[in-house]
Structure 1
């Protein structure tokens, strides 16, 4: 039997090797043809253009960026970080809203179920592109004009040009404040793991919600107070009205806000349906058994129903997370400087390096999607548990 299978195995390897060679030849031919066409137009193929000066400004940047000294590579990093920022925040907000709506769709309260169903059926049937225009054009036009911004108190202003908030200076000793928040998040994750182990061992679970909120929310201000008492106060730049616009502080641009709200609201409708389907997949007897153990409705949902529903929720939830990242490329419509807007827009128009720019942009989105899918698959493996 083994000898009869050997020729088949070698034949399979030969066919696979032949397929790889054919694909490699096609890729090489396409690359050579593209390089020849670019050479005829006076365009040098390669990624050497990334080191040339960019010469254009970007409205929002998370790293130092100056138009006079920045290169195209710097512009690439700025666009990438802007994409990662809005995608990560949209994933978090959409998850929070979606889980709330999904649970509300199975609530015993008729009003809660009706409102959640109305939200889902309305939002998911309106194109995302149209919703972004509503948030950016219609909602922004309803805000006060730049000449008369709304004063929100404590040095905050709101106008059609954005939301202006106090900005702490995190240089020097100030980095300890976000560091403390990060430590608080890690400590909360440790509490969650300890709680899970206590439940698996049949012991009384540790409280997580209140200590987690205290650790995450309170750690930063406590460290800030400690730095002030130690003689290293964290400086705060307060926004103030200037002759033409608000000056100073932290500016949240309307393009960023519209994209974040649009992505979160739209994706939350799909996540809500995923959560509802996951909760419906749990047998009704599980809730009845939890009630027989004198668990409240909230405890039954948190400790019995939701952990079982996650087996069904996580796989399609991964697809929604990937869609959020890819849908963020619609930022080009409203002028938010994400990777597509900056790199495939301005950089491509200035350099004409179409092949390199498109290939690099596709590689970035592919990498982000693969990393997200890998992380969610690891989490799904933990949720499902060992194979039986």
Structure 2
């Protein structure tokens, strides 16, 4: 007959079987095994990849970023030429992606809000038109919409020699929209500094006005004062800088238009396609947010004699934002990630530049890891900002 081992004091010591029968111990053990398997699989993939690359005489690493790119990029927000490095080329692609994503987010928010409100309009025609807009563009794949707009825009406008000029200096052609821009001057640097100072001042005034209203109940016209400060400081900086008026105006020279700045058909196709597609989902988010506000809020506003439009702007929409922000965040993330489809219409975004880099250097894994990391970073930054905004809009209970 076996004997049970007792610890000092007569308490039986735990055996291995006792620990394995403990649910908490088993849970930890399972997690350790799972992590170990993931690490083992990762090690196998990395080592196998390195061996295969070495067998094919393909070097690894990110040293290629310092090499000359040797290819042109049609649109760039920074100085770039074919003699620039691959790192600079990827920066150009990143800035182009951020530009179209940021503008798309702003425009789809405005358009989506308008159509979301229109979906609840008491006017039958307005309501049905908004419904048709949402149902049509929401159910067409975004890639097909990019192709559609890219086919329409160049054919909707004349050849550069017959450019349409809706405003002085603004030319619409099959090669894009040309607009005049100010000639570079130190005055614009001063204006930028003045704008930053104005934003800081407005932020401080807003905090002071909120504290004052909480203590005394008296509101302060932050918007009017802030607008005055911004316009005043920027205008003073403009005068101090010499009030430059020189403009670089686009003109037809030879077979093309020179001067000014150009908005390409590729950029317009991507921007319009992403904006229209995403705005339909934003419209549904706004509509559901408004409907989530208790109907008693409308009745309370009516009882106080507040106009319907004013009640919507100052009573209903602020409350609906608390419901709408989380799904709006998801739509902004979708728009940013959908911008990677811009390569399909020739817009030089991050994916397009990365593909060219990949083809020329053979560094496929490194190039893909770079733009995957960048898209992950953009998504995380968007989420962080929207989470912060969501906390600011959250109802604070006393």
**TM-score computed with the length of structure 1 as normaliser:** 0.89
Larger Rg: 2
| Distance verdict in 2 for CA 1:330–1:109, change over 3 Å | same
For residues 31 and 222 of structure 2, what CA distance do their matches in structure 1 show?
53
| Distance verdict in 2 for CA 1:381–1:290, change over 3 Å | same
| Distance verdict in 2 for CA 1:341–1:382, change over 3 Å | same
Secondary structure of 1:66's counterpart equals coil
Aligned counterpart, 1:34: 49
| Distance verdict in 2 for CA 1:85–1:215, change over 3 Å | farther
| 1:220 Cα offset (Å) | 4.9
Matches within 5 A, 1:208-223: 220=234, 223=237
Question: In the alignment, which of 128, 133, 147 is matched to residue 161 of structure 2?
Answer: 147
For residues 209 and 313 of structure 2, what CA distance do their matches in structure 1 show?
13
| 1:368 Cα offset (Å) | 0.8
Matches within 5 A, 1:138-287: 138-184=152-198, 203-207=217-221, 220=234, 223-229=237-243, 233=244, 235-287=246-298
Q: Deviations over 1:67-120 (max 9, x none)?
A: 12x111111111011101110110011111111111222233333222222211
| 1:210 Cα offset (Å) | 5.6
For residues 44 and 390 of structure 2, what CA distance do their matches in structure 1 show?
41
For residues 347 and 167 of structure 2, what CA distance do their matches in structure 1 show?
27
Gaps of 5+ in 1: none
Aligned counterpart, 1:298: 309
Alignment check: 8 A CA contact 1:98 1:275 kept: yes
| Distance verdict in 2 for CA 1:126–1:66, change over 3 Å | same
For residues 200 and 117 of structure 1, what CA distance do their matches in structure 2 show?
42
1:322 aligns with 2:336: no
Paired residues, number: 381
Aligned counterpart, 2:82: 67
1:332 aligns with 2:347: no
For residues 377 and 296 of structure 2, what CA distance do their matches in structure 1 show?
43
| Distance verdict in 2 for CA 1:347–1:33, change over 3 Å | same
| 1:227 Cα offset (Å) | 2.6
Moved more, 304-313 or 6-15: 6-15
For residues 104 and 208 of structure 2, what CA distance do their matches in structure 1 show?
29
For residues 5 and 287 of structure 1, what CA distance do their matches in structure 2 show?
62
| Distance verdict in 2 for CA 1:163–1:334, change over 3 Å | same
Alignment check: 8 A CA contact 1:162 1:253 kept: yes
For residues 373 and 81 of structure 1, what CA distance do their matches in structure 2 show?
19
Alignment check: 8 A CA contact 1:168 1:235 kept: yes
Alignment check: 8 A CA contact 1:144 1:150 kept: yes
| 1:49 Cα offset (Å) | 1.2
RMSD value, Cα: 2.8
For residues 172 and 325 of structure 1, what CA distance do their matches in structure 2 show?
34
Aligned counterpart, 1:107: 121
